Amino acid sequence: MKLNYKLTLLVLISCLYGITDAQNRIVGGTTTKISKYPYMLGILQADGTYFCAASLITRKNALSAAHCVVDKLVSELIVVAGVTDLGQKGQRRGVNRMWIPEGFDLTPNDFDVAVLEFRRPMVLGVNVAIIPLGKTRLKAGMRMRVSGWGKTSENGKTAATKLHTVVVQIIGYDKCASQYEKSNTKITSTMLCAGHGDKDACNGDSGAPAVVNGKQYGIVSFGKGCGRKEYPGVYTKIMNADVRGFIYDCIRQ
């Protein structure tokens, strides 16, 4: 299906995500080094404040969540690569263009994907590398790695300054949909669910890549709280044909 996309230079949509119970979702993880996950990117505001994560999918493009940037201007964004600690300078790039799909819906974060284009390409090296997108189908029970600089507990006051990582387990669509039905949240075909007891993504991890066997299969999207056993984390499903088509259409431009 051919989709029409919105080039987001100015977006006149208010972002309600931060005030809903579905938080912008690392809990139960460990600190790590960027050299182990060199595809990780941080998205900063113009004043240097971190607010979301992303992944490097080409030298000039980042992949993140639409809800992270839907209320932002490109002039407000800085993408940082090659850092374990957000206090490090790394490689910093301004954003030239960004896209979100016209089908993106804040309730319930359906089609939650965004592609950003840097003003200058990243320089690849030990701490900066491109991650390929996954192409094989995933099954319930498989393990998926998530990394980010988000909060390390649901009630934490601040995001982590150093990169954290955690492994979560993929949960079948029907089971996840049933669990979220209790909170009147619809799980759609663009979503993938994963959790592992009290292990989860959390506030500030939004936009981060979910990785299986060195390939990206998901984007941290939302969840009810962080690390709640009855509510797994929800990720944008890159294997969804419309999500994947959107990504490839953007990076070809």
> Which active-site residues does the annotation give?
67, 112, 206
At 180, is the secondary structure helix, strand, or coil?
helix
- Residue linked to tokens 């989709």: 3
Alpha carbon 163 to chain centroid, angstroms: 14
Q: How far is it, in rounded angstroms, from Cα 28 to Cα 60?
A: 32
**Residue 35 contacts residue 127 (beta carbons within 8 Å):** yes
**Residue 126 contacts residue 87 (beta carbons within 8 Å):** no
Q: How far is it, in rounded angstroms, from Cα 226 to Cα 187?
A: 17
Structure tokens at 94: 């301004």
Q: How far is it, in rounded angstroms, from Cα 13 to Cα 196?
A: 34
Q: Apex CA 40: angle with CA 37 and CA 45, to 5°?
A: 155
CA-based torsion, 236, 237, 242, 247: positive or negative = positive
Q: How far is it, in rounded angstroms, from Cα 8 to Cα 235?
A: 22
The torsion angles phi and psi of 23, rounded to 5 degrees, stand at -80, 155
